[in-house]
Structure 1
Amino acid sequence: MAIKKQYLKSKPVCKVTFSVPAKEAKSVAVVGNFNEWNTEATELKKLKNGTFKGTVDLEKDNSYEFRYLVDGIYTNDDQADSYAFNEFAGEENCVINL
Structure 2
Amino acid sequence: MSEQFSNITDEDLLKEKGKIQYNKTVNATLIGFCVGIFIFSAVNNGFGFFTFFPLLLTYPFIKNGQKIKALSLELARRKLYNLHTVLRESGNLQIEKCILIFH
Structure 2-normalised TM-score? 0.26
The structure that is strand-richer by fraction is 1
The structure that is helix-richer by fraction is 2
Structure 1-normalised TM-score? 0.27
Higher relative contact order (CA 8 A, sep 6+): 2
